[in-house]
Copies of this chain bind each other. A is one copy, B any other.
Amino acid sequence: MKIGIIGLGLIGGSLGLGLRSLGHTVLGVSRQAQTCQRAIARGAVDDASVSLALMQTVDAIFLCTPLAAMEATVVELVPYLATDTVLTDVGSVKGWVVETIAPLWSNFVGGHPMAGTAESGIEAAQQDLFINAAYVLTPTDATPARAIQLIEDLVRPLQTRLYHCTPNDHDRAVAWISHLPVMTSASLIAACIGEADPAVLGLAYALASSGFRDTSRVGGGNPELGVMMARYNQAALTRSLHAYRNHLNQIITQIEQADWQSLETSLIETQQARSEFLEG
């Protein structure tokens, strides 16, 4: 099949490598001519261009730009597309994307491959990035069955674990397991560095080890991504943050009131729940 990829970063580049390894022809578009050259050199695309006109002949397109660029990109893209071209995206939020893009192109299926690395950009792209990764599709009642089938047929051979759900359920689920942890982790870092006593702060720096390292990791990640999660998943994230604050308040009360029995009950529950969560 002839596949277009718009946005040649980590995800777009990795999709290109993976899809080409399966025998597809891949055409890429990036706003940067240099990125186009690097994508060709790395074998992520057969050809690349800074112009969306390259998308005229493809059967399916993966929209891999940042969320903030998607709407304008699709408005500009639509005049070039054949009527039956199927469009999908890889954005980490689905409600806003589906509401915004589906009205612009009816052959659209929202998608979210849940894979990544600490690095970004075309140089970080990996052919095996999606092996065993969850890949969520969020069709609506209005999504053409053929469009869903076509995207499934493209991403399943990448050895992804395919899931279907509503855009809203997707956004609530990722709020819990991806967006909320960023905010709780960032709050942890902010609280620690707010320590006013330099002797204590210096000691905290010296003694921080794996527990702090793990718990603070996602809160020390890319600030633009963090803002993007909050901006485009505001409702679900706010909902999760409020529930989180309730549980935090409960633990604070248990500790302040020296209610060790209740605290132990809570911690036994979370120990049990985490192992189920990560086996689930």
Contact = CB atoms under 8 A, between A and B. Distances in A.
A217 B280 CA distance: 15
Contact of A247 (B190, B247, B254): B190
A177 B204 contact: yes
A234 B221 CA distance: 31
B184 A184 contact: yes
Given A134-B207, A215-B218, A243-B194, A165 B199 contact: yes
A258 interface: yes
Contacts of A234: 255, 258
Contacts of A189: 270, 273-274, 277
Q: How many copies does the complex hold?
A: 2
Contacts of A226: 263-264, 267
B173 A267 contact: no
A150 interface: no
Interface in A53-78: none
Interface string A256-280: 1010100110111111011111101
A186 B197 CA distance: 27
A231 to B, nearest CB: 6
A142 interface: no
A101 to B, nearest CB: 21
Interface in A92-149: 114, 133-134, 136
A163 interface: yes
Contacts of A201: 173
Interface string A216-227: 111111111011
Contact of A177 (B187, B208, B240): B208
Nearest to A272: B220
A87 interface: no
Contact of A241 (B183, B231, B252, B273): B252
A80 interface: no
Nearest to A133: B209
Given A176-B195, A205-B280, A244-B191, A218 B211 contact: yes
A8 interface: no
A277 B247 CA distance: 27
A59 B26 CA distance: 74
